[in-house]
C-alpha cells in the first residue's frame, strides 16, 4: 500500500558509495568555511586554542617518558638506599618546591635536569604534568567553546538568511517544494552544517597537526620504531573513512525508512475508523512490519559496519603497539634505548588512537555537511520570480477598478507549457460583484491567485485603477487585495492575532467588526478567553465552517480596494452563509468583489457571471441572461435544482439541502 | 555535549531528531523508576539468553581491555630485566589479548546493539498493535500528534538509553577493572591515585544541577525557533498574502537570537567541565610520578608498574564521563517509558469472546434492542433505542446534530459496546461474533473519506487486499470514478499524496464508494457528505450512491433530500431517542419533527 518509490529504493540494503555526492564536497565545504570567516576573531581563537591544546597534548608523553627515565636512571645510578634517601627526602621537603621550580626551569632551558636532587626532579616533572594537563584542558575547553561560538553564529546567520529567503520566494517555488522538505532543510540540514563547522573542521586541523608532529617526533627519535609505531595510521584512516561514508549512506536510508514508518503509523491513526471498518488490522500490521523490518535490518547492518571497522582498527592499532613493545623492548634490554623513550612511544600511540578514530566521524560529518549544505544553498541561491520591479512605486488608491486585459497564464512558462488561462478579460468596479463558476480544474483559483500577483501573467495584463500590478510594489498591491481562500491556515496564536494577521496592530474594534460581518463573533465571544483564545495546532479546534468564517474575517480586515472570495463559503451551512452574504454586501458596498463558487445560488446577485471551462470564458452575463441563453450554466442550474423543482421560490431554493452540498 | 551528536556514532533513528522535546516539567516522573525498568525488562525477557551472552562478552572484553596495559607493564619490566617473564612470552600474551580484544569487542557491542534494536522494534510494534485494538473512545480523546510523539520520540529516547546502557555497562565494568588492577598492583599508590575519583564525582555532582537548566534552555530555544520556522513555512502563502514578511522576520530573529545565546551558554557550561577533568587527570598523573617514582627509587615498585599506572590513569576518566552523561539520557528515558507504558496500559475494551462465532450466511438484518449508550459515564447519548431493519432495506437516519445518528452506526459496527440492551446483526448479538467477520459483513463510508498514501489501485482494494485489477476497475466504473482515474498521470497506479491531497473531495468520496463496493458487504453504513462537493462531481455521486445501496442492507446518515426520499424507511432521531419512523409521505402527513425539519426554511437535514 505505501510502496512509494523512495521506500522501494530504501528497502534495498545495498550500500553503494557512489550514491554519496562526494564531488560537491570541496565546493560546498569551502563555501561553508568561508561563511565562518565572517567571524575572524572567534575563528582565530578557536584555531589557536586547537593548535595550542594539540601541543600540550604532545608534551604530556614527553614528560611522562622523562619521569619514567628519571626514576629508572636514578634507580640504576644507585641512589636507592631507602632509609638514606627517605631522610634526605624529608630534609629536602621544605626546599623542594623551590628546587623543583628551579629544575623545571632548567628542564625548559637546558632540556635536561640535574640529577643531583632526584625527588626534586620528579616533583618538577609532576608539576609540569599538572600544568600541562591544566593548560591542555583549558585550551581544549576554549577551543570547543569558540568553535561552537563560530558555528552557532554562522548557524544564526544561515537561519535568518533561510527564513528571509523563503519568505521572498514566490508561490511558484513553494508549489514544487514540499513544506516538510523545506522544514527539514531549515532544521536538520542547518544542524548538519553547524555540527561540521563546530567540530569537523577543527578536528581535522588538530588531527593533521597531531599526526604530523607526532610522526616527526617519533621518526626523529628512532626511524624504524617510528615507522612501526605509525604503521597503523594509514590503515585506520582508510577504514575510518570507509566506515564514515558507509554509515552516512546507511543513515540516509534509515532516515527514509523511518519517515515511511512514521507515515504508515500516522495514517493508520488518522484513518483508524477506516481501518476498523474494513477489519484491516492485519493488513496494517503487515505494512508496519514490512517497513519496520527493513529498518531493523538496516540498523543491524549499520552495527556490523561500525563494529567490524572498529574491531579491525583496534586490531591494527594493537598490532602496531605489540610490534613497538617487541622491538622497543629488545632495544631497551640491549641498552640502546631508554625505558622513557619506550614509554613516550607507547603514550604517544595512545594519544593518536582517539583522533585517528575520529577520522570516521570527520568524514561522516563532512559528507553530511556536504549534502546538507548543498540543500541549504539550493534554497539560498534560488531567485524569487516575483519581486518588486526596480522602479516600482506604491500603488495609488483610486476608485478601485480591477481590469483583466486578455490575460494568459501557464504555470510552466516555457514555450508549449500547458495554458491554464487564455484570453481572460473583465472589469470589476467599486460596489460591483463578479461571479465565476466552472468545473474543477477550469482555472478559477488560478485566476484569483493572479490578482495579488502570486504568479505573473504570461500574456496580457492586470491593472488596478489603471496601474499594471507588475509596476507597483507587492506590499501596496497585496494590502489592497483581500483574498479569502478555501482553506484558511490558522497560526498557533490567538483568534485576534489570526484575524488581524495582515494588520498586526489593528485595534480590537476593527477585529470585532470583521468577525461580526463574517458571523464568527458570537462563537468567538463564547470561547474561554474570547479573542485571546489560542487556535491552531495547539489551541482549540474549529470546525470547517468556523475556519472559513475566520478566513472571511481575515480577508475583510485586509482588502482595501477589492475582495476576492475563492469558494470560501462551501463549508458554511446555508443559513449562516445567507447571513454572511447579506452583511458582506453592506460591508463591502464600496469595494469590488469577485466570488468564485460552486453553489450557483451564491451568485444570484452578481452583476456579471463568468463561466470558465479549461481556462476560457465560455459564457458570461447575469444570472437571468445566462438562464435565458441556455447552455452550461443553465444545465448546471437545472442539475442543482432538479430534486426540488416543486418549490420554486428563491428562499426555498437556498434552504434546499441539495444546494448545500452543491 | 549539548547538541552535538554526530549521526554516525549512535544509531539514533528518528524523523526530526533535533527538536524532540520532552516535558521536563514533572521531575517526579523523570527519576529512575523501577516500575518502568521492570516493564521494559519484560520486553527483554524473550531475549534473555542473548542478554546473558552480551553481558558475558562485556565482562570478558573489559577484562581483556584491563589486561592490555598490564602486559605493557610486564613487557617494560622484562625489557629492563626486572620481570619473571621473558619478553617473548609477554609478547605472545599480548598478541593473544589483542585477538581476544578484537573478537570480544565486536561480539560485545554487536550483540548488545542488535538486542537493543530488536527490543525497540518489539516495543514500537506492541504499541502500534495495541492501538489497533484500544477502544475508539480513547483515540477520540487523544490527538494523533501526541500518539505519534509517543511512537516516535519517546521510543527513540528509550532506544538511545538502551544503546547507551550497553556501553555504560561496559564502562562500569572497565572502571571496576581499572580500580581493581590499580589496587592490586600497589595498594597505597592505587589508593592515592584514586583519591581524584571522589573529587571528580563531587565536581560533577555540583556541575550537573548547575548546567542542566542551561542545557534545557538550549533545547527549548532550539525547538521554539524550529517551531516558528515550521509554522512560517506551512503558512507561507498566508504570510505572503498578508504581507507579514517583515513582522514575522523580526519575531523570528528574536527567537533565533535567543537560541544563539542559549546554545552558547550551554556550550560554555559543557566546556567548563573539560579543564576540570583534565586538571584532575594531571593531578592523578602527578601522584603517580611523585609517589610512584619514589617507590621506584626505593625499589618497592618496578618501573613497569609506573608505566602501567600512567596508562590506566589516562583511561579511567572516560567511563565516569560517559556514565554521568548516561544519567541524563536515563532521565528522559524514564519519562518516555512512562508515557509509552501509559499507552500500552490503555485497556482493550472490545475483543472477541472465546467462543465468538463467525458471521457468514445470516440474513443481513440489523436490530437494536432497548439500547442505551454513551461516551462518558452518566451522559447517555442513546436512550432505550429499539429499531428493526429488514434485510436489504435502506434506512435513512435523520435528526439534528447530537441526536445520536452516528452513535447508532458506530454501535452496529461494534466500535463501542452498549451500556444496556443489545445490537444484533443477522440475528446474532455483535458481542458474540468475531470482530473480523463483523468487519467483513459491514462496510462503512465516512463523511470525510480517508485515503491512504499509495496507489489509487491499492486504496480501492483496501478492504480486499488480493482483489484483481479487473475487479478494481469494475468497481471504479460502477461508481463513475473510472473516468477521472484514467485521466490521472499514471491511471490506477497514480500515487496519492498524504490523505489523497491531490484529489478533490468529491473524487475522494467516489474512491471511497469504490472501496466499499469492492468489499461487497452485506451491510453498508454510509455517512453522507454534506459539503464541499462541486456540483459537477455531485451528479456522479448521486448515481454511484444508487448502485452502492442496491442489494444490501444500509444505514444512511442522510443529508440529501433525494437520498432520504428514496429510503425504504426514515428514522427520525432527537436527543438520543427515535421519535418517528415511516416513509417520506407518511412522516410529512404526520406533521411531526420530520415535517417541521422539512418545512422550516433554515432547519436542514444536515448537522453542521
Give whichever of A257-266, A375-384, B148-157 has the largest mean pLDDT: A375-384
With H, G, I as helix, E, B as strand and everything else as coil, classify residue B485.
helix
Alpha helices for B316-380 (secondary structure H): 317-344
DSSP letter for B154, please: I
Q: CB–CB of B519 and A262 under 8 A?
A: no
The conformational region for residue A15 under phi > 0 = left, psi -120 to 50 = alpha, else beta, is beta
A364 CB neighbours in chain B (<8 A) are 6-8
Partner A contacted by B347 (CB < 8 A): no
By CA distance, what is A164's nearest residue in B? Answer: B249
pLDDT per residue as tens digits for the range B441-470: 888 887 777 888 888 998 898 888 888 999
CB burial of B505-536 (b: ≥16 within 10 Å; e: otherwise) equals bbbbbbbbbbbbbbbbbbbbbbbbbbbbbbbb
* B119, closest residue in chain A (CA to CA): A296
Q: Which residue, A143, A173, A129, A119, is CA-closest to A42?
A: A143
Is the Cβ pair A347, B444 closer than 8 Å?
no
Stated as kind and residue range, the H or E segment containing B384 is strand B379-389
Q: What is the pLDDT of residue B195?
A: 87
Does the predicted interface ipTM exceed a cut of 0.90?
no
Kindly state the average pLDDT of the residues A621-627: 89
- Residues A96-124, mean pLDDT to the nearest whole number: 56
Looking at residue A641, its pLDDT comes to: 65
Q: How far is CA B560 from the centre of its chain?
A: 40
- Candidate from A130, A142, A350 with C-beta closest to B286: A130
Strands A433-437 and B569-574: unpaired
User: How far from A175 is each of A171, A489, A615, B265, CA to CA, in Å?
Assistant: 6, 16, 19, 39
Q: Is the pLDDT of residue B265 over 90?
A: yes
Q: Which of A71-85, A117-131, A327-341 has the lowest mean pLDDT?
A: A71-85
Give the mean pLDDT of chain A.
79
Residues from chain A contacting residue B293 (CB–CB below 8 Å): 67, 70-71, 119, 122, 126
Q: Does residue B604 come out as left (phi exceeding 0), alpha (psi in the -120 to 50 range) or beta?
A: beta
Highest mean pLDDT among A61-75, A533-547, B253-267: B253-267
Whether A187 and B307 lie within 8 Å, measured CB to CB: no
CATH no. for A25-80+88-221: 1.20.1560.10
Taking Cα atoms as reference points, which of B94, B146, B157, B83 lies closest to residue B123? B157
**Cβ–Cβ below 8 Å for A4 and B68:** no
Q: What is the pLDDT of residue A75?
A: 60
Distances from the Cα of B251 to the Cα of A165, A535, A558, B229, angstroms: 15, 19, 21, 11
Which of A174, A333, A636 is closest, CB to CB, to B79? Answer: A333
Q: State how far the Cα of A596 lies from the Cα of B156, in Å rounded to an integer.
A: 47
Residues 6+ apart with CB under 8 A from A304: B110
- Å between A580 CA and nearest CA of chain B: 14
Nearest to B296 among A71, A332, A346 (CB): A71
Rounded Cα distance, A349 and B41, in Å? 41
Pairwise CA distance, residues B39 & B45, whole Å: 10
Q: How many CB pairs under 8 A join A and B?
A: 515
Q: Which of A552, A561, A566 lies closest to A499, judged by CA?
A: A552
- B605 close contact with A: CB closer than 8 A: yes
What band does A90 get if pLDDT is binned at 50, 70 and 90? very low
Confidence of residue A93 (pLDDT cuts 50, 70, 90): very low
Q: What is the mean pLDDT of residues A374-392?
A: 88
Please check the confidence at residue A115 and state whether its pLDDT lies above 50: no
Whether residues A149 and B267 touch (CB distance < 8 A) is answered with yes
* B497 touching chain A per CB within 8 A: no
> Which residue of chain A is at minimal alpha-carbon distance from B4?
A195
Residue B225 has pLDDT above 60, yes or no: yes
- Give the right CATH number for A402-661 from 3.40.50.720, 3.40.1110.10, 1.10.3720.10, 3.40.50.300: 3.40.50.300
pLDDT value for B90: 82
Q: Which residues contact A582 (CB under 8 A, 6 or more apart)?
A: none
Confidence at residue A461, expressed as pLDDT on a 0 to 100 scale: 93
Higher pLDDT, A68 or B229: B229
Q: What angle do CA A250, A252, A257 make, to 5 degrees?
A: 90
Q: How far is CA B224 from CA A533, B221, B247, B357, in A?
A: 20, 5, 17, 53
When the pLDDT of each residue in chain B is averaged and rounded to a whole number, the result is: 80
What is the pLDDT averaged over residues A67-84? 60
Q: Which of B78, B307, B444 comes nearest A277 by C-beta? A: B444
Per-residue pLDDT tens over the stretch A169-207: 888 888 778 777 888 888 888 988 988 888 787 888 778
The residue of A303, A498, A637 whose CB has the most chain B CBs within 10 angstroms, and thus the best one to mutate to test that interface, is A303
pLDDT category, B29, cuts 50, 70, 90?
Answer: very low
Which residues are CB-neighbours of A12 under 8 A, at least 6 positions away? none
**The pLDDT of residue A88 is above 90:** no
Q: Judged by CB atoms within 8 Å, which residues 311-340 of B form the interface with A?
A: 311, 314
Nearest to B274 among A4, A141, A293 (CB): A141
Over range B404-423, report the average pLDDT.
89
Kindly report which listed range (A214-218, A418-422, B294-298, B345-349) carries the lowest average pLDDT score.
B294-298
Which of the two residues, A110 and A376, has the higher pLDDT score?
A376
Kindly calculate the radius of gyration of chain B based on its CA atoms and give it in whole angstroms: 35
Q: With an 8 Å Cβ cutoff, are A322 and B446 in contact?
A: no
> Is B129 touching A (CB cutoff 8 A)?
yes
Residue of chain A whose Cα is closest to the Cα of B110: A303
What pLDDT does A501 receive?
Answer: 86
C-alpha cell at position B430: 455483535
Amino acid at each position: 500500500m505505501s510502496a512509494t518509490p523512495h521506500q522501494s529504493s530504501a528497502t534495498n540494503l545495498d550500500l553503494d558509495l557512489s550514491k554519496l555526492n562526494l564531488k560537491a564536497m570541496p565546493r560546498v565545504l569551502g563555501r561553508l568555511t568561508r561563511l565562518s570567516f565572517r567571524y575572524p576573531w572567534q575563528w582565530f581563537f578557536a584555531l589557536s586554542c586547537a593548535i595550542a591544546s594539540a601541543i600540550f597534548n604532545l608534551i604530556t608523553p614527553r614528560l611522562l617518558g622523562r619521569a619514567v627515565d628519571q626514576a629508572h636512571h636514578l634507580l640504576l645510578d644507585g641512589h636507592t638506599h631507602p632509609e638514606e634517601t627517605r631522610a634526605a627526602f624529608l630534609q629536602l621537603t621544605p626546599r623542594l618546591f623551590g628546587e623543583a621550580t628551579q629544575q623545571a626551569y632548567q628542564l625548559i632551558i637546558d632540556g635536561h635536569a640535574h640529577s643531583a636532587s632526584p625527588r626534586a626532579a620528579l616533583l618538577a616533572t609532576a608539576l609540569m604534568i599538572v600544568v600541562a594537563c591544566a593548560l591542555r584542558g583549558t585550551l581544549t575547553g576554549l577551543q570547543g567553546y569558540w568553535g561552537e561560538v563560530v558555528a552557532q553564529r554562522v548557524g544564526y546567520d544561515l537561519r535568518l538568511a533561510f527564513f528571509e529567503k523563503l519568505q521572498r520566494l514566490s508561490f511558484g517555488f513553494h508549489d514544487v517544494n514540499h513544506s516538510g522538505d523545506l522544514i527539514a532543510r531549515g532544521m536538520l540540514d542547518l544542524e548538519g552544517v553547524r555540527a561540521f563547522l563546530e567540530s569537523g573542521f577543527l578536528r581535522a586541523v588538530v588531527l593533521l597537526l597531531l599526526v604530523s608532529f607526532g610522526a616527526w617526533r617519533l621518526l626523529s627519535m628512532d626511524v624504524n620504531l617510528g615507522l612501526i609505531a605509525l604503521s597503523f595510521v594509514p590503515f585506520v584512516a582508510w577504514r575510518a573513512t570507509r566506515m564514515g561514508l558507509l554509515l552516512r549512506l546507511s543513515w540516509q536510508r534509515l532516515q527514509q525508512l523511518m519517515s515511511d514508518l512514521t507515515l504508515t503509523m500516522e495514517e493508520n491513526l488518522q484513518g483508524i475508523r477506516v481501518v476498523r471498518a474494513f477489519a484491516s488490522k492485519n493488513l496494517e500490521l503487515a505494512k508496519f512490519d514490512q517497513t519496520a523490518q527493513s529498518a531493523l535490518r538496516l540498523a543491524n547492518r549499520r552495527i556490523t559496519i561500525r563494529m567490524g571497522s572498529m574491531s579491525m582498527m583496534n586490531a591494527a592499532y594493537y598490532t602496531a603497539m605489540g610490534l613497538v613493545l617487541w622491538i622497543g623492548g629488545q632495544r631497551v634490554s640491549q641498552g640502546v634505548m631508554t625505558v622513557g623513550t619506550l614509554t613516550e612511544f607507547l603514550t604517544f600511540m595512545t594519544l593518536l588512537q582517539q583522533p585517528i578514530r575520529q577520522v570516521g566521524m570527520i568524514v561522516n560529518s563532512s559528507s553530511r555537511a556536504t549534502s546538507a549544505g548543498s540543500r541549504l544553498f539550493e534554497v539560498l541561491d534560488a531567485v524569487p520570480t516575483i519581486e518588486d520591479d526596480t522602479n516600482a512605486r506604491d500603488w495609488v488608491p483610486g476608485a478601485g477598478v480591477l481590469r483583466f486585459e486578455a490575460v494568459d497564464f501557464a504555470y510552466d512558462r516555457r514555450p508549449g507549457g500547458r495554458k491554464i488561462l487564455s484570453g481572460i478579460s473583465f472589469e470589476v468596479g467599486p460596489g460591483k460583484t463578479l461571479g465565476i463558476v466552472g468545473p474543477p480544474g477550469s482555472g478559477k483559483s488560478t485566476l484569483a491567485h493572479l490578482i495579488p500577483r502570486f504568479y505573473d501573467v504570461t500574456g496580457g495584463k492586470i491593472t488596478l485603477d489603471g496601474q499594471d500590478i507588475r509596476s507597483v510594489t507587492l506590499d501596496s498591491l497585496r494590502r489592497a487585495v483581500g483574498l479569502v481562500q478555501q482553506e484558511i491556515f490558522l497560526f498557533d496564536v490567538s483568534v485576534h492575532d489570526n484575524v488581524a494577521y495582515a494588520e498586526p496592530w489593528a485595534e480590537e474594534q476593527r477585529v470585532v467588526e470583521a468577525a461580526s460581518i463574517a458571523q464568527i463573533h458570537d462563537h468567538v465571544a463564547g470561547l474561554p478567553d474570547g479573542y485571546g483564545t489560542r487556535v491552531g495546532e495547539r489551541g482549540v479546534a474549529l470546525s470547517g465552517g468556523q475556519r472559513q468564517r475566520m478566513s472571511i474575517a481575515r480577508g475583510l480586515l485586509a482588502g482595501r480596494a477589492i475582495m476576492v472570495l475563492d469558494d470560501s463559503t462551501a463549508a458554511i451551512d446555508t443559513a449562516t452563509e445567507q447571513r454572511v452574504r447579506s452583511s458582506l454586501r453592506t460591508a463591502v458596498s464600496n469595494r469590488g468583489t469577485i466570488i468564485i463558487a460552486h453553489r450557483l445560488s451564491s451568485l444570484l446577485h452578481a452583476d456579471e457571471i463568468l463561466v470558465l471551462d479549461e481556462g476560457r470564458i465560455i459564457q458570461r452575463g447575469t444570472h437571468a441572461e445566462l438562464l435565458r441563453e441556455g447552455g452550461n450554466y443553465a444545465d448546471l442550474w437545472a442539475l442543482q435544482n432538479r430534486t426540488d423543482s416543486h418549490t420554486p421560490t428563491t428562499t426555498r431554493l437556498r434552504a434546499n439541502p441539495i444546494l448545500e452540498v452543491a | 555535549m549539548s547538541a552535538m551528536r554526530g549521526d554516525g556514532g549512535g544509531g539514533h533513528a528518528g524523523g526530526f531528531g533535533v527538536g524532540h522535546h520532552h516535558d521536563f516539567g514533572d521531575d517526579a516522573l523523570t527519576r529512575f523508576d523501577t516500575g518502568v525498568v521492570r516493564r521494559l525488562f519484560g520486553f527483554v525477557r524473550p531475549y534473555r539468553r542473548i542478554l546473558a551472552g552480551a553481558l558475558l562478552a562485556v565482562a570478558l572484553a573489559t577484562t581483556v581491555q584491563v589486561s592490555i596495559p598490564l602486559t605493557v607493564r610486564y613487557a617494560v619490566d622484562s625489557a629492563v630485566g626486572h620481570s619473571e617473564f621473558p619478553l617473548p612470552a609477554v609478547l605472545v600474551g599480548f598478541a593473544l589479548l589483542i585477538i581476544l580484544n578484537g573478537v570480544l569487542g565486536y561480539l560485545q557491542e554487536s550483540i548488545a546493539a542488535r538486542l537493543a534494536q530488536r527490543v525497540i522494534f518489539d516495543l514500537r510494534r506492541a504499541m502500534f498493535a495495541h492501538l489497533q485494538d484500544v477502544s475508539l473512545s480513547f483515540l477520540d480523546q487523544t490527538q494523533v500528534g501526541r500518539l505519534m510523539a509517543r511512537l516516535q520520540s519517546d521510543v527513540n529516547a528509550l532506544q538511545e538509553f538502551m544503546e547507551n546502557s550497553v556501553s555504560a555497562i561496559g564502562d562500569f565494568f572497565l572502571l571496576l577493572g581499572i580500580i581493581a588492577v590499580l589496587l592490586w598492583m600497589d595498594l597505597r599508590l592505587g589508593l592515592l591515585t584514586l583519591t581524584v575519583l571522589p573529587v571528580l564525582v563531587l565536581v560533577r555532582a555540583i556541575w550537573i544541577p548547575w548546567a542542566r537548566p542551561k542545557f534545557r534552555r538550549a533545547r527549548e530555544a532550539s525547538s521554539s525557533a524550529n517551531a516558528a520556522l515550521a509554522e512560517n513555512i506551512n503558512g507561507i502563502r498566508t504570510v505572503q498574502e498578508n504581507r507579514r514578511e517583515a513582522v514575522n522576520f523580526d519575531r523570528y530573529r528574536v527567537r533565533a537570537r535567543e537560541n544563539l545565546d542559549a546554545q552558547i551558554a550551554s556550550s560554555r557550561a559543557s566546556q567548563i567541565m573539560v579543564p576540570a577533568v583534565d586538571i584532575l587527570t594531571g593531578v592523578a598523573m602527578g601522584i603517580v610520578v611523585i609517589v610512584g617514582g619514589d617507590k621506584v627509587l626505593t625499589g618497592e615498585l618496578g618501573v613497569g608498574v609506573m608505566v602501567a599506572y600512567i596508562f590506566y590513569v589516562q583511561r579511567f576518566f572516560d567511563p565516569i564521563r560517559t556514565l554521568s552523561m548516561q544519567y541524563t539520557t536515563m532521565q528522559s528515558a524514564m519519562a518516555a517509558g512512562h508515557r509509552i507504558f501509559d499507552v500500552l496500559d490503555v485497556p482493550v475494551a472490545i475483543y472477541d469472546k472465546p467462543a465468538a462465532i463467525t458471521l457468514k450466511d445470516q440474513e443481513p438484518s440489523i436490530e437494536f434492542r432497548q439500547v442505551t449508550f454513551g461516551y462518558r459515564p452518566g451522559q447517555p447519548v442513546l436512550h432505550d433505542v429499539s429499531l428493526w431493519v429488514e434485510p436489504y432495506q435502506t434506512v435513512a437516519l435523520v435528526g439534528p446534530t447530537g441526536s445520536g445518528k452516528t452513535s447508532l452506526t458506530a454501535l452496529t459496527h461494534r466500535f463501542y459496546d452498549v451500556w444496556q440492551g443489545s445490537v444484533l446483526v443477522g440475528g446474532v448479538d455483535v458481542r458474540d461474533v468475531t470482530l473480523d467477520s463483523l468487519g467483513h459483513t459491514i462496510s462503512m463510508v465516512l463523511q470525510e473519506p480517508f485515503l491512504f498514501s499509495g496507489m489509487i489501485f491499492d486504496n480501492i482494494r483496501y478492504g480486499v487486499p488480493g482483489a484483481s485489477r479487473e475487479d478494481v476497475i469494475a468497481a471504479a466504473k460502477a461508481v463513475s470514478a473510472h473516468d477521472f482515474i484514467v485521466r490521472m498521470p499514471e491511471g490506477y497506479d497514480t500515487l496519492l499524496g498524504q490523505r489523497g491531497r491531490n484529489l478533490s473531495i468529491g473524487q475522494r468520496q467516489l474512491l471511497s464508494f469504490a472501496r466499499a463496493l469492492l468489499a461487497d458487504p452485506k451491510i453498508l453504513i454510509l455517512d453522507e457528505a454534506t459539503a464541499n462537493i462541486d456540483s459537477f462531481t455531485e451528479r456522479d455521486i448521486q448515481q454511484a450512491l444508487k448502485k452502492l445501496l442496491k442489494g444490501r442492507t444500509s444505514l444512511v446518515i442522510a443529508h440529501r433530500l433525494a437520498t432520504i426520499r428514496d429510503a425504504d424507511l426514515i428514522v427520525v432521531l432527537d436527543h438520543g431517542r427515535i421519535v418517528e419512523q415511516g416513509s417520506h409521505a407518511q412522516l410529512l402527513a404526520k406533521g411531526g419533527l420530520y415535517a417541521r425539519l422539512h418545512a422550516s426554511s433554515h432547519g436542514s437535514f444536515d448537522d453542521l
